[in-house]
Chain A
Amino acid sequence: MRKTMTSMLAGIGLVLACGTSVYAQDKELTIFWAEWDPANYLQELVNLYEAESGVKVTVETTPWPDFQTKAFTEFNAKGSAYDMVVGDSQWIGAASEAGHYVDLTDFFNKHNLKEVMAPATVKYYAEYPSNSGKYWSIPAEGDAVGWSYRKDWFEDPKEMEAFKAKYGYDLGIPKDWKQLRDIAEFFHRPDEKRYGVAIYTDNSYDALVMGVENAIFSFGGELGDYASYKVDGIINSEQNVKALEAYKELYSFTPPGWAKSFFIEDNQAITENLAAMSMNYFAFFPALINEASNPNAKATGFFANPPGPNGDQFAALGGQGISVISYSQNQEEAMKFLEWFIKEDTQKKWAELGGYTASAKVLESPEFQNATPYNKAFYETMFKVKDFWATPEYAELLIQMNQRVYPYITGNQGTAKEVLDSLAADWNATFKKYNRVK
C-alpha cells in the first residue's frame, strides 16, 4: 500500500515538474476584454502575431455587464491572470490612480502616438488627467454611437408622400434632432406592431447615460467642467433640460417593453422589423450588414448622430484603449506585442478584420471609408465625440445619473429640471467627498 502511494506521488510530482518546465518555455499573453464581436476580431489579429513571433496570445472575454466588476476585482486583488486589458475609456482615472495600469508615457512619446492615433482617441482613451501628457493606454478600438435605419421604409413612395403632407418636408436621413423626433413619431404605429425608434435605456451600466449624452452633447450641453469639477449650472443647464426632454419624448416612440435595452435589443429592433431607426455603437453595425444575422441587411442604412437645435453635432464616445496591467509577470512581452500592434500594417489588418482602428492614417484612407456603408459615418463621428467623467469615482457618478434620469425617462417621475438639479447636487456632494471641490 505504502509502495503504491509513493509511486503515485512520484508520478504526480513528475507530471507537475514537466508541466512547469513546458509552461516556463512557452511565452503566453492574455488580453482581457468584453464579450462581443470586436474581441473575436482581435483574437484573429493576435493569431497573426503568434505566427510571426511564436508568442501565443489569448483574448479572454466576459459579458459586458460583468466586465467592469470582473476586471477591477482582478486588479484590486493584484492578480496576474491578465497581462493586458482593453478597458473602457472611463476606467482610466480609477485604474491609473490606483496603480493598476503601467505608465505608457515613454512608449507613447517614443512612437509619437499622439500624431499617429486620431486626436479624440488619444484624449479620451489614453491620457489622464486631461491635458497632463501622461498616457496609460494605446487606443485600440475606436467607437461612438451612431444610428441605423430602415431604408426600405424611408424610401417607400407612399410613406414619403404621407410624411411630406404631415410635416411639410421630405422624409430622409434626419438633419437634426427635431427631424429625428418627427420621423420616430411618424413611424410609431403600435397597431401595426411597428415602432418609431430604438434607444438605449438599460440602467445597469452606462447604456442609458450614453444615450442621454447623445442628446445633451448635440443640444450644446456638457456634463460638467472636467478640469474644475464644476457641475452646477452645467449639468442642469437650459440646453440639458431640453435635451433630456427630447430623449424622454423619443422613449415614447419605442417598442413595448423597451425599459432595459442595450446593444442587443437595439440591433434586434432592425433585424426583427420593430423600429424605423435604432441607436447603437458602430462596433455592432457589422452584424447589421451581414445577411446571416440581419434579414433586412440590404435595406439597412446608417447615419451619424444628428445636430441639435443650435447646430452642435456630437456623439457619445464608446471604445477602449489597451493597457498593460501592473501585476502582469509578462510586461516586457506585452510591450513587444504593443510595438507590433501600433504598426500601420497591423492597424490596416485590424480594420480589415472588422476592428475599429484608431490610427488616423488608416481612418483617413479611402479604402477604409468605402469598405462598409457605415465607415464614413464612423470616420466623421470620431472627430466629434465627447465622453463621460473619467475620474476614479466615475462609477458613483454613473450610478447617481442612472438613479436620477431613469425614473424620469421610463417612469414619468418629476420634471427634467428637477432631475438635473438633483443630479447636480448628487455630483457636487460626491466631488466634495473626494476633495475635488471645496
Chain B
Amino acid sequence: MATAVMTTLDPNSRSAARGMSDLTIRNLFIIPTIVFLIVFNIFPLIYSLGYSFTDFRASSPAAANFVGLQNYRELLNDPFIWSNFAITAKYVIVSVVGQVIVGFGVALLLNRDIPLKGLLTTLLLLPMMLSMAVVGLFWKLLYDPSFGIINYTLGLGSFEWLSNPDMALYAVAITDIWMWSPFVMLLSLAGLSAVPKHLYEAAAIDRAGSFYTFFRITLPLVAPILMIAIIFRTMEAFKTFDLAYILTSQPTTEVISIRLYKMAFQEWQTGRSCALAYIVLIMILAITNIYVKYLNKVKER
C-alpha cells in the first residue's frame, strides 16, 4: 500500500543510475530513524519499566531486587508527591491559559493589514527562540527585589516575586507565558489567515456584531489549530524543569519533573524514579488523549 502512493523514480536521476529502487531509497530514509527511535526511545522506555518494579540504585553495585508494585504504592501514598502533582497542575493551568489568552489576543491584533507586519511578527517570535536557561537567568535579574526592572517599572518597591512562596509559581508561569505565547500566536495566526474572507463579508451584510462574528465564525474555525497549540503547550508545561529549577527553589515551585530529577540523580533511587516517570507518562498520555478526543470532535463540527 505504501509503495502504491510513492511517486516513481525518475529514470534519468543519479539514484536510478546507481540501480536504486524506490523501495531502497525509502528504506534509506526511514530505517535510520526507526533504529534511532528504538535505540534511544523505545528500548530505554521498556528497560526502565522493568526497573520500576525493582529497588535498583545506579549508585550501588548491589543487584536489583524485584519489589513488585511497592515503588508505585509508596509513591502514590507519599503526600509530598501529591503536592508536587498539585503544583504541576496549577502551573499547567495558569501557564497554558495565560499563553492562549496572550498568544491568541496578539494574533487577532496582527491579523489585519498593518505596516511592518512581517517585522513585528518576527520580533514577537524571538522569546521562544531563546534557550530556557538563558531566559531563566535573565528573568531572575528582572524579578530581583533590590534592582529588578519589574519592581522599578511597576512601582512595587521591594516586592519579592521569587522568594514569596505564594507568588513564586506565578512568577515562573509569567516567564513561561512570555516565552511561549509567541508559539500560540504563530499557530493562531496561521488559523486566522485561513478563515475565508467571504464569511466575514456575509456576516457584515447580515449586520452581525463583532462578538457574534468572533464566537460564531472566528473561534470555531480557528479552534482545531488552537487545540493543537494547547496540546503541545500542556505537554511541555507538564514536563517543565529548566525555568522552575533556575528561577527559584521554593517548595511551592517544585513541579513533578524537579522532584523526579532529585530522586533520580541526587538520591539515586533509580527504581523508584523510573516508577515516578511512568506515573507522569501515564498522566500526560491521559490528558493528551482527552484533548485529542476533543480535537476530533471540534474537527467534525
Contacts and interface: CB of A to CB of B under 8 A. Distances in A.
Nearest to A95: B59
Contact of B144 (A73, A99, A203, A257): A257
A72 B268 contact: yes
B58 A410 contact: no
A72 B59 contact: yes
B22 interface: no
Nearest to A412: B165
Contacts, number: 73
Given A256-B145, A392-B60, A406-B251, A68 B266 contact: yes
A204 B259 CA distance: 11
B249 interface: yes
A168 interface: no
A94 interface: yes
Given A72-B268, A94-B59, A260 B162 contact: yes
12 contacts: A98-B59, A98-B61, A202-B249, A257-B146, A257-B160, A257-B162, A259-B160, A260-B248, A393-B267, A403-B80, A406-B251, A410-B250
A68 B262 CA distance: 11
Contact of A396 (B145, B160, B249, B269): B269
B267 to A, nearest CB: 5
B137 to A, nearest CB: 13
Given A203-B249, A406-B251, A410-B165, A99 B269 contact: no
Contact of B250 (A75, A98, A259): A259
A367 B230 CA distance: 67
A393 B60 CA distance: 11
Q: Interface majority SS on B: helix, strand, loop or mixed?
A: loop
Interface in A181-236: 190, 193, 202-204
A338 interface: no
Contacts of A72: 59, 265, 268
B99 to A, nearest CB: 26
B158 interface: yes
B296 interface: no
Contact of A399 (B58, B158, B252, B262): B262
B59 A257 contact: no
Q: Which of B248, B249, B269 has the most CB of A within 10 A?
A: B249
B249 A399 contact: no
Contacts of A204: 249
B165 A256 contact: no
A393 to B, nearest CB: 8
Nearest to A100: B59
Contacts of A76: 58-59, 268
B251 A256 contact: no
B24 interface: no
B163 interface: yes
Contacts of A38: none
Interface string B44-85: 000000000000001111000000000000000000100000
A407 B165 contact: yes
Interface string A384-411: 0000000011011001000100110011
Looking at A99, A392, A411, the one whose CB has the most chain B CB atoms below 10 A away is A411
Contacts of A98: 59-61
A218 B146 CA distance: 32
A257 B165 contact: no
Contacts of B59: 72, 75-76, 94, 98, 392
Contacts of B265: 69, 72-73
Q: Which 4 A-B pairs have the closest CB atoms?
A: A259-B163, A257-B145, A411-B165, A256-B145
Interface in A66-109: 68-69, 72-73, 75-76, 94, 97-99
